[in-house]
A and B are shown apart, each in its own frame.
Chain A
Amino acid sequence: MKLKTMKKLTPLFQLLLASLLLALLLASGGQWFLRQSTLGPNQAERPQELLAFAAPEFNLPQQAQTLSLLTLFSFLLLGTCHLLHAHKQAKIAARLLAWIEKTLADTATEAESTAPIPGFPEEISKQLRILLTTPDEKNITIGGGQAALPITQKISLYTKKRFELIFEEFPDGIMLLNESAEATYANSKIEIILGKSKSEVIGHKFHDWSQEEVLTDFFSRFQNIQSRLRRKKELLFSPSYLPERTLSVGAYPVENRDNNTFLGTLVLFRDVSAEALAKQARGDFVSHVSHELKSPLNVLKMYSELLLNADGNDKEIERDAANVISDEVERLSLLINNLLSISKIELGSISLVRQRVKVVDLLSDAFQTIARSGLEERLSFKLDLPQELSPLSLDKELFRVAINNLLTNAIKYNRPQGKVTLAAEENDAQIIISVKDTGLGIAAGEQEHIFEKFYRSESAEVRDKPGHGLGLALAKNIVELHHGKLKLESTLGEGSTFAIVFDKGSTLVQEGL
């Protein structure tokens, strides 16, 4: 802008322009000065950058910075007006200054308000705001005591609080041990896991709070540990005060790799009871399956060896051997089919092929087929079905397996000249299909287990009959897949009734109609 032009401008405008330029000059210089003045040799210790480092999500309002600049400008303007005896202009500048001061005060109040910092509970937010807005070296009240905290310590405390909050939300127990294996930090989950309060743990060595010998022995390895032994270690144990639980303890030595100093040990406690039970169940299942498969194979091996070494002189034994081999092959085949079906249902990989089924026809057909196999036992069979039943939406093949299993059991565990009845009935609320026998019955104490995989009664009479303990488990799975219930009523020595109950409100029935 030319000098001539400037002279043409009004005196007030000249004052405004000069003051603004001076303010900008001073602000830039001030910022430079702020950058150069440090509280320590580390660049990260400058207040603004410290705050950005510790609380990146928390920035000083831009509005406050702008207002600060305007304040400086207003002071300069006011001063210049007085110097030039521009009293009228000075009054305007004073009013501008007053407005700026009021707005600054409101902004400061707003900054100090109790509005919570996002992500932190109200009480912690209050403490954090005190930390961040209190000038250096001023005494503050924090955590129930007064302290003079320079800015670095304030930031350090804030960072520590942040991490403690994160650790408290962790679902597992977290503990920090120093090089002497003394606990320097523990989250609240530790109290449930160790059965000790935090105050009994923090500041104490492991042998003061460890109630288990195996745990004490484990932690002793982390006391003044040599560098060559600093490796992750893990332990699984069931504490005596929580015998039904399985806990995993992972200890991770923490080192400063820059200077190879040992900082302590991070310890994680996890409740792995569910995983341990699942592993146990898998192991038990494999063990059961192995036994159930090897038993018929054992018989097949022995009888086939007998036949191979037969000299042809004992036809009866050879025929007997051939029959046994045939029966065992069928038994093995049934076992494998049952296992596959159960596994598919439990894994959810089986999909029902539903169709509208006339239940009376299905039951009649199953009954006729199975009843023939019971004739040798001189059993009597009764089919008690109504003329009509509401059709159901069923996977016919699969449902037939369930009915067959119930009928097979009714025959197998019956007495000579006993009775097997297949019945069905329908009322307003339900359709009920039942298989009743007058056989061995099931003891009251065993009834709750009878539907478990591989479960067989301890009774010698039951054990004398061939079986794997899978038929009822599979039948129950199939019925439940069709949204029905399989119920049992039984009296030891008198017989059993297994009832498949379908609620007429279910889709199974509705789709069939």
Chain B
Amino acid sequence: MNQKTILIVDDDAHVRKILGLTIGRAGYKTQTATNGMEALALIRSHPPNLLITDIEMPRMSGKELCLTIARELPDRDFLIILMTSVVERDASSWLQEVGQAEFMEKPLSPKKIIERLGSYFRATA
């Protein structure tokens, strides 16, 4: 079975570490980035199978990252999960523009993240 690559983007080192550990233990390959700019560089060279990103980050926010991906990779086929403190009221409008993206509200449960990854990859298999 091809190992799926999950890209984790968050400026908090603890979050990158625990998600990397949890997702890695679930059998996935992980990459990490500290902000949107770094993530974009990785995506351009090696698009992941799924992207998990924080929204509030320096240099490029999660929202800016998603909109840039939607613009540069209109045919992308990977899901984007946005980790958010509060779901913005007007988020649905730009989320539709991004396509194939959903919110997960903090505090996150690693167990629920693994379950979501599993259900997504089973559905797209």
What is A's interface to B at a CB cutoff of 8 Å?
287, 290-291, 294-295, 297-303, 305-306, 309, 317, 321, 324, 328, 456, 458-460, 463-464
A interface secondary structure, majority? helix
Contacts of B56 in A (CB 8 A): 291
Q: Cβ of B30 < 8 Å from any Cβ of A?
A: no
Interface residue SS majority, chain B = loop
Contact across chains for B85 and A295 when beta carbons are under 8 A apart: yes
Residue positions of B touching A, CB distance < 8 A: 11-15, 18-19, 21-22, 34-35, 56-59, 83, 85-86, 106-111
- Check A297/B14 contact, CB under 8 A, given A290-B85, A291-B56, A458-B59: no
| Complex-state Cα separation, A295 to B13, whole angstroms | 11
Using A290-B86, A295-B106, A301-B109 as known contacts, list a sample of 7 further A-B pairs with CB atoms less than 8 Å apart, ordered by residue number in A: A294-B86, A303-B14, A306-B22, A309-B111, A458-B58, A460-B34, A463-B11
Q: What's the Cα separation between A295 and B83 when bound, in Å?
A: 10
Query: CB < 8 Å: which of A301, A309, A324, A460 contacts B108?
Result: A301
Q: How many cross-chain pairs have Cβ atoms below 8 Å apart between A and B?
A: 70
Contacts of B109 in A (CB 8 A): 301-302, 305
CB-defined contacts of B22 to chain A, threshold 8 Å: 302, 306
| CB–CB B34/A294 < 8 A | no
**A302 and B108 within 8 A (CB):** yes
Minimal beta-carbon separation of B59 from chain A (angstroms) = 6
Rounded to whole Å, the gap between the CB of B2 and the closest CB of chain A is 27
Given the interface pairs A305-B111, A328-B14, the reply to whether A463 lies near B85 with Cβ below 8 Å is no
Contact A294 B58 (CB under 8 A): no
CB atoms of A302 and B86 under 8 A apart: no
Q: Provide the residues of chain A in CB contact with B19, threshold 8 Å.
A: 302
Q: Write 25 A-B pairs (CB below 8 A) sorted by A numbering.
A: A290-B85, A291-B85, A291-B86, A294-B107, A295-B15, A297-B106, A298-B12, A300-B107, A301-B108, A302-B110, A303-B14, A305-B110, A305-B111, A309-B111, A324-B14, A324-B18, A328-B14, A458-B58, A459-B58, A460-B58, A460-B59, A463-B11, A463-B35, A463-B58, A464-B11
Q: How far is the CB of A209 from chain B (nearest CB, A)?
A: 33
Please, which residue of chain B has its CB at the minimum distance from the CB of A297? B107
Q: Is the CB of A299 within 8 A of B59?
A: no
Shortest distance in angstroms between B111's beta carbon and chain A's nearest beta carbon?
6
Closest residue of A by beta carbon distance from B13: A464
